[in-house]
Amino acid sequence: MHDDRTLVEARLGRVLAERIRPAVYPESVPLQVAVWHAPGEPVPVAEGLAAEPEPIAVGARWGAPWGTSWFRVTGTVPVAWAGRTVEALLDLGFDENMPGFQCEGLVHRPDGTPVKGLSPRNQWVRVGAPVAGGEQVRLHIEAASNPVILGHHDFRPTPLGDKDTAGREPQYTLTRMDLAVFDDNVWQLVQDLEVLGELMAELPVDCARRWEVLRAVERALDAVDLQDVNGTAGRARARLTGVLSTPAVPSAHRISAVGHAHIDSAWLWPLRETVRKVARTTANMTALVEDEPEFVFAMSQAQQWAWVKEHRPEVWALVKKAVAQGRFVPAGGMWVESDTNMPGSEAMARQFVHGKRFFLDEFGIENQEAWLPDTFGFAAGLPQIIRAAGSRWLLTQKISWSQTNSFPHHTFWWEGIDGTRIFTHFPPVDTYTCSMTGAEIAHAARNFKEKGRARHSLAPTGWGDGGGGTTREMVARAARLRDLEGSATVTWETPRAFFERAEADYPEPPVWVGELYLELHRATLTSQARTKQGNRRGEHLLREAELWAATAAVRAGFPYPYEELDRIWKTVLLHQFHDILPGSSIAWVHREARATYERVAAELTAVIESAQRALAGDGTLPLLFNAAPHARRGVPAGGAATPAVSGGTTTVAARAGGGFTLDNGLLRTGVDARGLVVSVHDPAADRESIAPGAAANLLQLHPDFPNMWDAWDVDAFYRNTVTDLTDAVSVTAGEDGTSVRIVRAFGASRVTQVLSLPPGERRLLIDTEVDWHETEKFLKLAFPLDVHAERYASETQFGHVHRPTHTNTSWEAARFEACNHRFVHLEEPGWGVAVVNDSTYGHDVTRTVRADGDRGTTTTVRVSLLRAPRFPDPETDQGVHRFRHALVPGASIADAVREGWRINLPERHTTGARAVAPLVTVDDDAVVLTAVKLADDGSGDVVVRFHEAHGGRARATLTAGFAVADVTVTDLLERPGGDGRPPVREGGRITVLLRPFELMTLRLRRG
């Protein structure tokens, strides 16, 4: 038989495009359109409905960047259409290839009732099915003219990312505003042919099923009269019944489809626009739930649910109804889909506390899964946090974006730093915006790495990023793929149903230990330094506010600010969203974030100062309030007292050949004429920290122009070119007599550094101020250390993770930029060095063997300070930045932990009438208190959260500074629960046994 396959396939493509799809709407009449442009920010629905619009014609330009326009469309259904289905086709000027990334609308009835959202792949509104004819149609569209930031010219700088710079040029052309007859039979034929055509393309050419489908499609096309598609569509569909009803083979891969719309809480749009995106999407999805009895939709991010409740109560009512039906499912149990690398221990825990509690309070639903499809890698401390929140599973997709190594599993146990394991799934469909195409479904089945051991995978289905959700076309495709030969099977299921099925299907999956590192988007650890500093400062201020407010509440009857702290926590958690904290949003987002963090800092500082006044009373006694989890200067952790006078002094002497020597008896530091640190000697160990012939405190500048994703990526080739900033404008002794001041100038920028050795302290402090005006550059701060180490430690949530310093494998080579919280630490047996910071996250560690001399090993730690990408914010990080780092020679891991806390929780000095004893103390420095607070339920119970921080086992006794009636081990939500051995209580003394890095929460009922 002659091979006419390509002929039939080409025929299908043209007939579908030019005859059958256009016949879905065989008749139409224009609507009358008028528009009112809101003068500033979006207005309430009632105001938009009441505004007096001006006529506008199809073909007219509309919509200044970030503007809001209220369109009123009116018309009459022709009497001749009686008995037929009629829809309004409302095309605001959409590009169908850009759902979620351009203009959108929410349709309302005249009384303000929401109907559904409009987006590039969802432009219709049902008027009647059937209509009587003669109906008056009146709809109002709240249309957002969001500009295209990431479009046909990817990653090019644009002023459109901030309303202050975007201008007023109209962005869109009104394209179609019609009433039209909807022919369901033709629409169904389109779905039939698209599914079969896509299935055909994925089957092997020598597969009999492919030819069977081809012949059925050919017969269907023969049955279509191209001059009367509407009259012959039924006949064509009949010829496809056989191939559409042939069941899948028993071994077919099984896909659980979950309706979804991954909506970035901010990204290429500001937070206020996400509020509206969520409303549009949820209005769409509740309508689809009503229309499609098998469809299930899952939405994560409790913050987005809260926005609907607060801002769109009329949409919230629809959501609540759909949730009650079990068809609209809260997912994920986190406040937002946050970054997981940079949030601190407590912040990561509170993401689950606030997320899960919202869904429990509103719906009585407890999520079992962490749902993070788009997050840029996963810290190794996360499994324990997920388990401590009462959850069991994790879903993500983003690891499939890794550029170097293909992750070996799709379903597996993920083991964290403490040994906790979480059942984890990466959907092999490799997208969190599946649209049910044949290519996607076939890819999922082929790509699934657990073949022969497991058979189930999940497909998040619907337009996302900018929202929109699942479409009726996707639902129709899924119906045809439910049980179709040649395809994986598709069933709508909730995330919980999928995970329970997958867990039962695969009782002994493989284990992956340690962080899930994304080999992409590494620069998100550095971009937008002010946003990252705001987050770090906010986290530590919240710790202080809770600690001192709880202490003052127990000791002095201070009114604990429950509502204020709850609100501020949610604000900080929102800004940990995976495009805000990582620095990958437009300028508008980060401009607002800076203002928000300033407000948060002021509010929390007021809480702290009020609580401290209540505790200390009025007096002249000098007091140091120590919020760190370790004693310092004679003041206990969590207490206040007159600080001990630091022993010793620091001298600054001129150095032969230029520069200065700083010496405080504990460290001796040589700073040469260039302002570089050429020696940090530890007298106790008689050990030099800096590698021979090298210099620390070395600022290094790299070109930084990645191949794509400017704010997100730094590519390995950036290291090929480096400029050492060794020229100094001045190197002078500081006026305080304990420091050296260095000024450098390069490009259009200027750096001022102050190096100091505080008396009585074993740390070299480095305060850096950068007035940054570079473009597409990467600034690093290097410490070449005379340490032979094959691995180093980086702090992460509730512990630390070890990474190799070598690049033996492609996995290690790909990890050329990594995350730490407050410290990195490297050591030889008996002697180590820590580099601690107050606000930076990105770093790299490399090793070389010196070719001559002692042939020792130089291990270089480089802190990432600043970048200057131009997309999506063309002015990223321009201006003045301040950083504080410390080099701590002779440091054990315990020293690194302590110094990391110390640099992030500066001393607070005040005067008062009395010292303040800690509310809770612990007798082992390896056990770190991360939170001391009152229980969220208002009971007055004291909640204490702590973990083993050194990586070993600990037996510690906590002592309460108040009468304790009872102690309960709880989960993160402060409910009874928890693993491990129960504590032993003797009065106010509580003894606990902890495994390495184990997290524990205790609830202490006051006597």
Q: What count of other Cβ atoms lies within 10 Å of the Cβ of residue 36?
A: 21
Helix (H, G, I), strand (E, B), or coil: what is residue 614? helix
Output the CA angle 601-603-606, nearest 5 degrees: 105
Q: Burial of 80 by CB count in 10 Å (0-12 exposed, 13-18 middle, 19+ buried)?
A: exposed
Alpha-carbon span 216 to 949, nearest angstrom: 66
Nearest to 332 by CA among 366, 361, 378, 383: 366
Q: What count of other Cβ atoms lies within 10 Å of the Cβ of residue 984?
A: 12
Helix (H, G, I), strand (E, B), or coil: what is residue 605? helix
Alpha-carbon span 714 to 725, nearest angstrom: 20
Distance (Å) of CA 538 to CA 345, 569, 972: 13, 9, 20
Q: What count of other Cβ atoms lies within 10 Å of the Cβ of residue 809?
A: 11
Nearest to 295 by CA among 429, 491, 113, 430: 491
Nearest to 678 by CA among 762, 825, 786, 517: 786
User: Within 31-183, where are the H helices?
Assistant: 45-50
Q: What count of other Cβ atoms lies within 10 Å of the Cβ of residue 913?
A: 12
Helix (H, G, I), strand (E, B), or coil: what is residue 871? coil
Structure-block tokens of residue 400: 């499939």
State the residue for tokens 């008027």: 127
Q: Which residues contact 590 (CB under 8 A, 6 or more apart)?
A: 528, 530, 531, 580, 583, 873, 876
Distance (Å) of CA 42 to CA 59, 144, 168, 311, 892: 24, 9, 16, 12, 55
For residue 124, the surrounding DSSP H or E stretch is strand 124-128
State the residue for tokens 């131009």: 870
Contact 253, 48 (CB under 8 A): no
Contact 107, 92 (CB under 8 A): no
Strands of 725-856 (E only): list them. 730-733, 739-746, 749-756, 764-772, 777-785, 791-796, 799-804, 818-819, 823-828, 831-837, 842-849
Active site residue 618: no
Which of 374, 579, 710, 971 is the catalytic position?
A: 374
Alpha-carbon span 847 to 812, nearest angstrom: 13
Paired strand residues for 126: 87
Alpha-carbon span 87 to 81, nearest angstrom: 11
Q: What count of other Cβ atoms lies within 10 Å of the Cβ of residue 169?
A: 11
Q: Which residues contact 830 (CB under 8 A, 6 or more apart)?
A: none
Q: Identity (one letter) of the amino acid at 408?
A: P
Nearest to 502 by CA among 410, 367, 609, 373: 410
Alpha-carbon span 815 to 522, nearest angstrom: 9
Q: Identity (one letter) of the amino acid at 777?
A: K
Q: Which residues contact 808 (CB under 8 A, 6 or more apart)?
A: none
The distance from CA 857 to its chain's CA centroid, rounded to whole angstroms, is 38
Contact 467, 281 (CB under 8 A): yes
Structure-block tokens of residue 89: 């086709």
Nearest to 387 by CA among 797, 971, 952: 971
Contact 795, 508 (CB under 8 A): no
Contact 70, 53 (CB under 8 A): yes
- Which residues have a catalytic role annotated? 374
